[in-house]
A and B are shown apart, each in its own frame.
Chain A
Amino acid sequence: MRGLKSLTSLAAGSALVLSGLVATTSSATATTAIAQCQASFKSGHLPLVSAGKLTVASDINNGLYQPWFGANGNPSTGKGYESALAYAIAKDLGITSKNVKWTAEAFDSSFAPGSKNFDFDINEISVTTDRAQVVDFSNSYYNVQQSIVALKTNAIVKHHSATDLKNYTYGDQIGTTGLDYINNHIKPTKQVHVYNTLDEAVAALTAGQVDAIVVDTPTGQYMAAAQIVDSKNKPLATQVGQFPSTGEHYGLLFQKGNTLVGCVNTAIADLTANGTIKALQKQYLSIYTKVPALTPIQP
């Protein structure tokens, strides 16, 4: 940035020249930033819990699922969006894939306060202000949209204009962003049913106790395709559509105050700039982009 300032004073006369210079310099800064991170890893100055290695956590003990991880639930294959991204970030920081170590961290305990035995946790964790008070998050690596899941026989499948949506009974899991979306954006006229687990909400949906569940698109896709099935494994539910993103996103989770987040953000920016993240999303997450869009409801 100091270089940028001196260039600015030199070229103060011409706005045209200036803008050209800033463009060149800022892309150069991004390259420099990642180079600096690579250098600090080489010299051992990158703050890692285990020297020379990147320790990545996920909810290994409770199962890892496609498309975020590979088919066998093994995170170290580099298959699946999150696994591939973890290796891409490591590579960008100059860490070889054999120096990427995986460790188990349950979803619920990941955003509890305290010291962590991993560098970062990658586990479809939504960034919320509450969670950000006790842990740190990287910038977004996936923007979450909320979607509606309902039984194929429910009226909501055909009638889901912004006004229609108010008249259904919704069910959702306690403390989820889906429940917030219902309350803040759909604002239904009937009392929302609030369940302790998502499985209970699904049971209520199957039993016809609620018309629809609002969950993020990836979860909804799994529910409609594989979870809500009849005794012959035939899908009973469908993903009616998805709402525009409200800014909710998944972030990598760090122990509060971990300075590694700076270099990881640099890597995410670098991987966004060079198209890696877009390519990985196209490779692993394209099923989500096919879900039809729903009319936005103004908050």
Chain B
Amino acid sequence: MGRRAAVASTISSAIIVALIVWFFWRAPNGANVRFFFLNPHAFWVNLTGDPSRSLYSILRCFETNVWMFMLCEVLVLIFGLGLAWLRLSRTPILAPLRVASAIYTDVFRGIPIILVLFAVGYGVPGMHAGWISQRTATTYACATLVITYSAYVAEVYRAGMNSVPHGQVMAAKSLGLSDVQTMRRVILPQAVRNVIPPLLNDFISLQKDTALVGTLGILDANQAAQLYGAKEFNFTGYTVAALLFLALTIPMTRYTDHLIAKDRRRRLAGGAA
């Protein structure tokens, strides 16, 4: 039975893939599209670059995307946690910060990231306000990614913290733990484990959104692909950039799915920590 099911699913997958390939191959202008998006020569030039023609290596430019999201992910984790913590704090003296944190998440989850990028990347240096206005374009780009994604991640953290049963807090209090201790030792460990899959989802988005930093003149993979397109009238660079992003995001998505599945098994088995 299992064998038959495997054979059936393999055959049906093969047929569907063949149909899709056939459709694109036989499209009236298919050859033209293949020339523009899947040109082998252009593929190679895009990957390696050609300084004599002012063409950049997309692989080298992709390094910018990689280090940028690695740095930003760490900062987003820290900053987002701070925001969520503030928002859930019950201390009266922190009330203004609680409100500020709520407004912050509302605002930055609501503005398209490219607009924040413009405002930060051109607005902050444009103010000529000393040190803060003299940073590099990459700094402003990272700041934008951290500002926006912290808002998303703060909400993920908050959901996680809220998912910890209130009895846990009561128990911690009865043991004589302070508010900070309760947060650190009781709520956070449980909350974070609950929200790892949605956190990783946000990081996949963050990886992709590093492709927007070209707006500030930074030569990332996407900008290099665009440059090739503008010079050579060929869009194969976009395919190269897309494949590089996939090489990065697919392992991450697979890992996230694996974690989700593992978490589900754990819960179904009775939810022992």
The interface bits of chain A over 167-206 (1 if a CB of B lies within 8 angstroms of the residue's CB, else 0) are 0000100110001100110000001111110001101101
Q: A208-B133, A208-B134 are known contacts. Are A201 and B217 too (CB-CB below 8 A)?
A: yes
Q: Say whether B41 faces chain A, with CB atoms less than 8 Å apart.
A: no
Chain A nearest CB from B217 CB (Å) reads: 3
Q: Tell me how many residues of A have a C-beta within 8 Å of chain B.
A: 24
Q: How many B residues face the partner with a CB closer than 8 A? A: 25
State whether the Cβ of B214 lies closer than 8 Å to any Cβ in chain A: yes
CB 8 Å contact bits of B195-221 with A (1 = contact, 0 = none) = 000000000000000000011111100
Look across to chain A and name the residue whose beta carbon is closest to the beta carbon of B126.
A207
Residues 188-238 of A contacting B (Cβ, < 8 Å): 191-196, 200-201, 203-204, 206-210
A130 touching B231, Cβ below 8 Å: yes
Contact of B134 with A196 in the complex, beta carbons under 8 Å: no
Question: Can you list, as one digit per residue, whether each of B217-236 has a CB less than 8 Å from chain A (1) or not (0)?
Answer: 11100010011011111000
Q: Tell me, in angstroms, the Cα distance from A187 to B125 when the chains sit together.
A: 26
Contact partner of B217 (CB less than 8 A), chosen from A171, A180, A206, A208, is A171
Query: Is B193 close to A, CB under 8 A?
Result: no
A193 lies within 8 A of B137 (CB): yes
Q: How far is the CB of A112 from chain B (nearest CB, A)?
A: 9
Distance from A87 Cβ to chain B, minimum over Cβ atoms (Å):
33
Report whether over half of chain B's contact residues are helix, strand or loop; otherwise say mixed.
helix
Given contacts A203-B126, A207-B126, A209-B125, contact A184 B217 (CB under 8 A): no
B134 & A175 in contact (Cβ 8 Å cutoff): no
Interface flag for B128 (CB, 8 Å): yes
The complex places the Cα of A141 from the Cα of B249 at a distance, in Å, of: 51
Contacts of A175 in B (CB 8 A): 227, 229-231
| Residue of A175, A203, A209 with most chain B CB atoms under a 10 A cut-off | A209
B122 on interface, CB distance cutoff 8 Å: yes
Q: Is B54 an interface residue (CB 8 A)?
A: yes
B223 partner residues in chain A, CB cutoff 8 A: 174, 194
Please, which residues of chain B bring their CB within 8 A of the CB of A196?
Answer: 214-215, 226
Q: Is the CB of B54 within 8 A of A179?
A: yes
Q: How far is the CA of A209 from the CA of B216 in the complex (A)?
A: 9
A130 touches B233 (CB 8 A): yes
Instruction: Kindly list chain A residues whose C-beta atoms are within 8 Å of the C-beta of B215.
Output: 195-196, 200
* A203→B122 contact, CB < 8 A: yes
Contact of A174 among B51, B137, B226, B233 (CB under 8 A): B226
A147 to chain B, nearest CB (A): 19
* Interface CB pairs A-B, < 8 A, 9: A175-B227, A179-B54, A196-B215, A201-B217, A203-B126, A208-B125, A208-B134, A209-B216, A210-B217
A residues with a Cβ closer than 8 A to B are 130, 134, 171, 174-175, 179-180, 183-184, 191-196, 200-201, 203-204, 206-210
Closest 4 CB pairs of A and B: A175-B230, A193-B217, A207-B125, A183-B54
